[in-house]
Amino acid sequence: MTDTSRKGLFGSASRRSFLSGVGAAAVGLTFSGGKLGKALAAEEKKLNFYNWDTYIGETTLDTFQAASGIDVNMSLFATNDELFAKLRAGNPGYDVIVPGSEFVERMITADLLTPLEHSKIPNIKNVSKEFIDDAPYDPGRKFSLPYTWLVIGIGYRKSKVKEVPDSWKYVLDSDQYKGRIAVFSDASELYRHGFKYLGHSANAGTPDLVKQVEAMLIKQKPNIKAFHEDNGQDLLLSGEVDVVMEYNGDIAQIMAEDDDIAFVVPKEGSLKQSDTLCIPKGAPHPENAHAFINHLLDAKVGAEIFHTIKFPSPNAAATAIMDDAYKNNPAIFPPADVLAKCEYPRYAGEEMTRLLDESLTRLRAD
Amino acid sequence: MADRPAPLEYNRTWPMRLWLGGVFFFLYAPLIALMAFSFNDSKRTIVWRGFTFDHYKKLFNNNELMLAFANSLTIAFITTLISVVLGALAAVMLWRFRFRFKGAIEGALALPIVVPEICMGVAMLVFFARVMPWPNDLIWPFSLGAIIIAHVSFCFPFVTMVVRARLASFNKEQEEAARDLGASDWEAFRDVLLPHMKPALIAGALLSFTLSLDDFVITFFTSGPNTVTFPVKVYSMVRFSVTPEVNAASTMLIVLTVVLMALMMLGQRKSTTAK
Amino acid sequence: MLNRDGQSRSTFWATVLPPTLWVAVFFLVPLGIVWLYSFGQNEGLTGISLTGTFANYVRAFDPLYLQIFAKSIFVAGLTTLLCLIIGFPVALAIVFADEKSRTWLLMLVMLPFWTNLLIRTYALIAVLRTEGFANFTLEWLWNNASGVMTFAGLAPLGDFQPLQLLYNNFAVVVGLVYVHLPFMVLPLYAALDRLDKSLMEASLDLGAGHLRTLFSIVVPLAMPGIVSGVIITFVPALGAYLTPDLLGGPDSQMIANVIERQFKRANDWPFGAALSFLLMYATFIAIAMRSYLTRGKAVDAHGI
């Protein structure tokens, strides 16, 4: 993806650092030592970015280096749980991380994040206003800025269903698709849709409600083929199942390859999620981190990122310059009235987390 | 020479051949399918859409992945070296000496085999975060130090176990005879014990190379911001779907390790024939 | 041995110190911390206070968790047994092969295991799934058989129903055997390598059959290898979480899945630590029993 990684192999005197020197000189010429340049000068020109794989544009890191001279070193995590477990023992040196919205709130509660200085991120103006205002997990956006967002719904194979499976009933409480159903193996994602189906808020979890959903799911278990770890799109595409609980971005990717696949957000509503940009406590390069977040929220840079990763973008300025195929995709951007029924999952405290986990253990035991 | 296999030529009997064929088919059929799909002209590995080298081209341009390869092989190599030495020493110690606390040490050596991966991963995470922080700005390969230490800790007890099983069949009188003829401890070890241990050392080395190369959990928890390994990369890649690029990467890793192993074996054969 | 001469004393220390120190510093210390956690209590989101409580262990003895333990032991035991049955002839074949093919056979056994575990598991999925290679092959055979039967004037077989090979406990066992086979073959090979073939010849000359020779000569000699093979297969199989996660069905939960969730999603390190250590104690008891049982047999083998 970039030359960054070479640095490890050849020590610090790599081609990359040479290039970055040239880049820095170029920036010095064009921006002629603005405020940004001065603030950055205090820190070494390095940044450790902890991201999901394939979650960045092909040239994003290079354009950032050309503009700021900062060498971005990207490493990868695969789940929010792992990210949290790792940072909980202490930040080993990451500057920018990309946790999901539910984990943002958990990390704020655990005091693992550094507040963002909005004055250093002028590109906040590009973020669509609803994503700044509607962020119950981080009111006022003190700790996080949205990078992508997602909605959970049902991906299905058109030729194998009688009618559009537009209710959680088909997945959670019906034997109509016996043996052709896959659901999330994550307790929070699974149970909260159970709450929704039973007519409650996704965040209304009480011990009683958890028991109710557990009983429903134990009854439904013989009809479920697999509990998947966020690879439901593969199960659907390979014909293993016909209805699957999955994120819209994942289903949108396979819709491009198979016309027989569609996505619907059930009428009871569902969960929204947003992957966000945050700076963890103890980040060695906070100035660079702010500059980098600002770069990612730039309109052109954003368009390049979303062109690559095809997830819904909260960046209004970036979306405006994307092509129509992206903008008008109903799976990527579900209608507003549907979205109105979707909620961000809120962090419900450790007790609820453990209650859900033990319930899942009971559900998965025979 | 005869048409009928001699009594002990089991490998020439048909049940044995059938069995071996079956086992190798079981082991290789999935891998061959995997390799075949690395040439699939599609973003998925489910339906065959034609032949292409594109995924390999992308792979070679993916420096991040190349570095992850290099990191993984380096870690596995150094880990194996240290593990074989420590593991063989531990096996000899347990087999040969009687001393106080032997039982305790024996138990401690069996522990790493028994600990669930995730538990060990968290143990190493806390250890390197709180007890012995590993600086993350060292130059390569020292930046891999924490991972290597953790890998050796779970690999060398496996070597010990295999070598010990082997030593059980050693005739101690041989060594004593060598010593009676004036050999020093070291000479007796080198000329008598070591040759006897050799198959177990090879088996142990293969085991620890494999374990190290394949480890994700412990590596993930001990890695700093600068140390992506191949399994860590793969785990984050498949999170988004299994693409032919992943297949191509694993095909590369298989080919690379086979070539390395073949070279090592050739070198070894040359040195033994030279003797 | 220690009393032999001065040389032995330095040899003793040179042998004992490096592995002992390594284990003490780089293994026992980290593990000790987690062991202490198992007697602790969660404090807020990231704190653990070491109160010396046994609450985590008490919770682990809930029938819910005991049942999962029992199931995991059964699955891992079945996996080990299958590995032993499949792997023993393979190890024998390697031992009986000539020098050159021996190296190649060893390579062939090990090669699949230099592929990443996750990738291997996905490769297996591609073979086993409903529209996978196994079902394609079966369908082809079925249709041909059907054609032959029609040709022979019999009723055709009817439509092929793909087998459900994935997302159930069967798939988990297949996956575990696939992943753990070399852990069995290698120690067996290492123990049998210098098998004294004259013993077998003598046995055959004396009129014992091949199977009898195998069980009365080869198996006792291979006993140390079998024991270490069984241990290093059984233990990782018991701790496997990826295979049941990816290949298993709704009820294929193993204890390692539960442990993994405690350290990750549930964020309950003390309970995860307690479960881990219970698992370790159980395995230790199993190993101790094994070595106690085989001690007698090993002497017999020498007696031959």
Q: Are C109 and C93 in contact (CB under 8 A)?
A: no
> CA A232, CA A241: separation in Å to the nearest integer?
9
A162-206 confidence digits (pLDDT tens): 999 999 999 999 999 999 999 999 999 999 999 999 999 999 989
Residue A32 has pLDDT above 70, yes or no: no
Segments of chain B scoring below 70 in pLDDT: 1-11, 44-46, 136, 239-241, 264, 267-275
Q: Is C138 on the interface with B (CB under 8 A)?
A: no
Of C67, C167, C264, the CB nearest to A225: C167
Q: Is C54 on the interface with B (CB under 8 A)?
A: no
Q: Is B123 on the interface with A (CB under 8 A)?
A: no
Q: Is C13 on the interface with B (CB under 8 A)?
A: no
> CA B33, CA B41: separation in Å to the nearest integer?
15
Residues spanned by CATH 3.40.190.10 within chain A? 6-144+278-327, 150-272+335-364
Query: Mind telling me how many Å the CA of C154 is from chain B's nearest CA?
Result: 32
ipTM: 0.84
Burial class (CB in 10 A: 0-12, 13-18, 19+), A224: buried
Query: Mind telling me how many Å the CA of A158 is from chain C's nearest CA?
Result: 18
Radius of gyration of the CA atoms of chain B, in A: 23
* A52 contacts on B by Cβ (under 8 Å): 236, 239-240
Contact A89 B129 (CB under 8 A): yes
Query: Which residue in B has a C-alpha nearest to residue A3's C-alpha?
Result: B63
DSSP strand E in A12-160: where? Answer: 46-51, 71-76, 96-97, 113-114, 145-157
3-class secondary structure per residue, C211-256: HHHHHHHHHHHHHHHHHHHHHHHHHHHHCCCHHHHHHCCCCCCCHH
How many CB pairs below 8 A link A and B?
A: 102
CB under 8 Å to B271, separation ≥6 — which residues? none
Q: Are B2 and C72 in contact (CB under 8 A)?
A: no
Q: Are C49 and C40 in contact (CB under 8 A)?
A: yes
C167-203 confidence digits (pLDDT tens): 999 999 999 999 999 889 988 888 887 677 777 778 7
Grouping H, G, I as helix, E, B as strand and the rest as coil, residue C206 is coil
pLDDT the model gives residue B45: 67
Cα dihedral A107→A113→A119→A125 (10° resolution): -30
Contact C118 B238 (CB under 8 A): yes
Nearest to A27 by CA among A15, A37, A17: A37
> CA A26, CA B67: separation in Å to the nearest integer?
29
Pair of tokens at residue A225: 């083929």
Pair of tokens at residue C33: 């911390």
Residue B157: cis peptide before it, omega within 30 degrees of 0: no
For chain A, give the mean pLDDT. Answer: 86
The DSSP call for residue A160 is: G
> CA C25, CA C117: separation in Å to the nearest integer?
29
**Chains touching C (3+ CB pairs < 8 Å):** A, B
Superfamily of domain A150-272+335-364: Periplasmic binding protein-like II (3.40.190.10)
pLDDT the model gives residue C293: 65
- CB proximity under 8 Å: A 56-85 to C: 79, 81-82, 84-85
CB under 8 Å to B12, separation ≥6 — which residues? B5
Q: Is A357 on the interface with C (CB under 8 A)?
A: yes
**Which residue(s) pair with A263 in the sheet?**
A155
Residue of higher predicted confidence among A285 and C154: A285
Query: Which residue in A has a C-alpha nearest to residue C70's C-alpha?
Result: A365
> CA A227, CA A118: separation in Å to the nearest integer?
41
The mean pLDDT value for A27-44 works out to 47
The mean pLDDT value for A102-110 works out to 94
- Number of other residues whose CB lies within 10 A of the CB of residue B252: 18
Query: Mind telling me how many Å the CA of B140 is from chain C's nearest CA?
Result: 21
Grouping H, G, I as helix, E, B as strand and the rest as coil, residue A182 is strand
Mutation target to probe the B interface, by most B beta carbons within 10 A, among C33, C90, C111, C116 is C116
Q: Is A259 on the interface with B (CB under 8 A)?
A: no
Strands A181-184 and A279-280, bridge-based pairing: unpaired
Kind and range of the H or E run holding C141: helix C133-151
> CA B222, CA C148: separation in Å to the nearest integer?
60
pLDDT the model gives residue B5: 57
Nearest to C267 by CA among A137, A348, B117, A247: A348
DSSP strand E in chain A: where? Answer: 46-51, 71-76, 96-97, 113-114, 145-157, 181-184, 224-228, 243-247, 261-264, 272-277, 279-280
Please, which pLDDT band fits residue A41 given cuts at 50, 70 and 90? low
How far from C193 is each of B171, C197, C211, C229, CA to CA, in Å?
Answer: 15, 10, 19, 14
Look at the block and give the residue holding tokens 């005991």.
C66
Grouping H, G, I as helix, E, B as strand and the rest as coil, residue B103 is helix
Q: What share of chain C is helix, strand, coil (3-state, %, to 5)?
A: 75, 0, 20
Q: Are B66 and B142 in contact (CB under 8 A)?
A: no
Look at the block and give the residue holding tokens 């293994």.
C27
**Chains touching B (3+ CB pairs < 8 Å):** A, C
Contact B140 A12 (CB under 8 A): no
Full set of structural domains in chain B with CATH: 10-54 (no CATH), 63-274 (1.10.3720.10)
Q: Is A226 on the interface with C (CB under 8 A)?
A: yes
Query: Which residue in A has a C-alpha nearest to residue B123's C-alpha?
Result: A89
Q: Is A250 on the interface with B (CB under 8 A)?
A: yes
What is the per-residue burial (b if ≥16 Cβ within 10 Å, else e) of C10-19?
A: ebbeebbebb
> CA C61, CA C83: separation in Å to the nearest integer?
30
Full set of structural domains in chain C with CATH: 62-129+165-303 (1.10.3720.10)
Question: For residue A276, which phi and psi values (nearest 5 degrees)?
Answer: -125, 160
Query: Which residue in B has a C-alpha nearest to residue A2's C-alpha?
Result: B63
Of A186, A222, A239, the CB nearest to C131: A239
Cα dihedral B100→B103→B108→B111 (10° resolution): 180
End-to-end CA distance of chain C: 27
Contact C267 A353 (CB under 8 A): yes
**Which residue(s) pair with A157 in the sheet?**
A261
CB under 8 Å to A10, separation ≥6 — which residues? B140
> CA B32, CA C266: separation in Å to the nearest integer?
39
Q: Hey, what amino acid is at A212? A: Q
How far from A130 is each of A100, A298, A316, A346, CA to CA, in Å?
Answer: 17, 18, 10, 17
> CA B149, CA B134: separation in Å to the nearest integer?
11
Q: Is C250 on the interface with A (CB under 8 A)?
A: yes
Burial class (CB in 10 A: 0-12, 13-18, 19+), B228: buried
HSE at residue A320, side-chain half, CA atoms within 13 A, is 9
* C191 contacts on B by Cβ (under 8 Å): 165-166, 168-169
Contact A5 B63 (CB under 8 A): yes
Q: Are C97 and B11 in contact (CB under 8 A)?
A: yes
Q: What share of chain B is helix, strand, coil (3-state, %, to 5)?
A: 75, 0, 25
Query: Which residue in B has a C-alpha nearest to residue C103's C-alpha?
Result: B265
Q: Are A233 and A258 in contact (CB under 8 A)?
A: no
Contact A364 C257 (CB under 8 A): yes
Nearest to C266 by CA among C275, C201, B67: C275
> CA A308, CA A206: separation in Å to the nearest integer?
40
Q: Is A353 on the interface with C (CB under 8 A)?
A: yes
* C108 contacts on B by Cβ (under 8 Å): 24, 27
Mutation target to probe the B interface, by most B beta carbons within 10 A, among A75, A228, A235 is A75
Q: Are A112 and A347 in contact (CB under 8 A)?
A: no
- CB proximity under 8 Å: C 66-85 to B: none
CB under 8 Å to C237, separation ≥6 — which residues? C75, C76, C79, C80, C176, C180
**Which residue(s) pair with A343 in the sheet?**
A271
How far from B21 is each of A326, B11, B28, C111, CA to CA, in Å?
Answer: 51, 11, 10, 15
What is the CATH code for A6-144+278-327? 3.40.190.10
pLDDT the model gives residue A151: 93
**Chains touching A (3+ CB pairs < 8 Å):** B, C
Q: Is A216 on the interface with C (CB under 8 A)?
A: no
Residue A39 has pLDDT above 60, yes or no: no
Contact C129 A238 (CB under 8 A): yes
**Which residue(s) pair with A49 in the sheet?**
A74, A96
Segments of chain C scoring below 70 in pLDDT: 1-7, 194, 290-291, 293-304
* B23 contacts on C by Cβ (under 8 Å): 86, 90, 181
Contact C123 B231 (CB under 8 A): no
Q: Is A237 on the interface with C (CB under 8 A)?
A: no
DSSP strand E in chain C: where? Answer: 41-43, 47-49
Q: Hey, what amino acid is at A210? A: V
Query: Which residue in A has a C-alpha nearest to residue B144's C-alpha?
Result: A8
